[in-house]
Structure 1
Amino acid sequence: MGVSKPLSGCTVSLVDRDLLNQTHLYVLENTEKVKPYIKEHMIHIKTTYPKFRKRTRWLQDKHNNIFIQWLRFKVQSKLNGEENNGVSENLR
């Protein structure tokens, strides 16, 4: 395209897995289409671990640790070979 000088260099940064997951969770929790799934997941956790129903901190930590994987499974099973099955493009 007629550029005769080199493009500026880039810097590669490696992010550890925990920070990446924390950032991913933050984005998901601030996405309007995900909020019903968050409520459903909290109900799921309270049902699965009834002894911890009233331990807010424990519930939040459990949610933070498994929500991304749970959401991925939930969306995939909802799609189940169908094109969109009520799942938004952004969420897919």
Structure 2
Amino acid sequence: MGSQGASSMMLGTGTAVMAVGGYTGSDPSPTLAQFHTYVANGEIHYFVAGGGGPGRGNSEITQWVQQHFAAQTIGSRTVYDLTKPTS
């Protein structure tokens, strides 16, 4: 969720990673509506759960992702493929 976790993922994979919720994961950025748009436009492909604070933005986004996409465990991470909605 936060930029600390996103930075290690970005460095480890060489892939662009967007932190949801700012530095600690507690900022409501992007908003849920913005996140919906990114997913609908195919701009975000995966969501990796956890690693953030109790912020409004990340909890709303996490709840929406959990309700609409299937979870997979990869290593010790919970990952959602946002290109394959379940509902």
TM range (shorter): under 0.3
TM-score normalised to structure 2 length: 0.25
Q: Which has the higher helix share?
A: 1
- Structure of greater relative contact order (alpha carbons < 8 Å, 6+ residues apart): 2
